Amino acid sequence: MSGNPSESSSARFAGDVDTDRTGSERAALVTDIQRAEGLSPRVTRAMLKVPRHAFVPDYQRHRAYEDSPLSIGHGQTISQPTVVAMMTEALDLRGDEVVLEIGTGSGYQAAVLSMLAKRVESIEIVEPLAEQAKQVLARLGYENVTVHVGDGYAGLPDLAPFDRIIITAAPPEIPPRLVEQLAVGGKMVLPVGPRFGVQDLIVLEKQQDGDIRRRNLGPVRFVPMVRGGGR
């Protein structure tokens, strides 16, 4: 697929280089997730290709292939790999979709999505995280991902509608402006619930008549989705 990274696409930093150890640790992690969750072959291949260790801070590199969320600074985390896999699977990507991601964070989820979709437009409200994610994604050659600094609650109306929308932080309620930006027949995956509490992982599908079909995938814990101005 056009825009996917290749080994010669850009220079690598030392922390980006895949070694026998990181490759085997990633393979073991993805195998465990695949057995537990029954991932599709496409999502499994994407998870195997994206080097999670390149998206975590240096002091967390030794934990990159644990199945757990990790701090990336600024009060934010890189999601647990199992949750990344579940949310990616729920989007049901075929390869020709334009995806809106709310909450770029480290850029890891966007990198996984980029292997499975035509284009990823990602919004991050924390500017230093956005800039860092841009640099890592560019270094690794993920050319079909664009990172925007902005308020995720507003989305990107000028680029809408989106075939898929994924939110990687938890709003207390489903943001109506993002539902408006979802294409007919499109799907949105997001956690919904209280700040720093247990939330529900929800899949929404917009029907031809505009009605929304809703499905609950179960309990999760995400950092809260922040509005512009930090509210």
Question: Environment class of residue 209 by beta-carbon count within 10 Å: exposed (0-12), middle (13-18) or buried (19+)?
Answer: exposed
Q: What is the pLDDT of residues 112-157, one digit of tens each?
A: 999 999 999 999 999 999 999 999 999 999 999 999 999 999 999 9
Catalytic residue among 40, 79, 106, 114: 79
Quick one: how many helices (H) and strands (E) in the chain? 6, 9
Packing angle, helices 81-91 and 20-37, rounded to 10: 60
pLDDT given at position 6: 41
Q: What is the pLDDT of residues 148-205, one digit of tens each?
A: 999 999 999 999 999 999 999 999 999 999 999 999 999 999 999 999 899 999 999 9
Distances (CA, A) of 142 to 4, 113, 162, 201: 6, 10, 19, 27
Q: At 16, is the pLDDT very low, low, confident or very high (cuts 50, 70, 90)? A: confident
Cross-strand bridge partners of residue 66: none
Rounded to two decimals, what is the model's pTM? 0.92
Does residue 122 have an active-site annotation? Answer: no
30 vs 128: CA distance, rounded Å? 29
Strand boundaries in 53-124, DSSP class E: 70-73, 76-78, 98-102, 119-124
Ordered domains of the chain (ranges, CATH): 69-230 (3.40.50.150)
Whether the per-residue pLDDT at 85 is higher than 70: the answer is yes
Measured in degrees and rounded to the nearest 5, phi and psi for residue 202 equal -110, 140
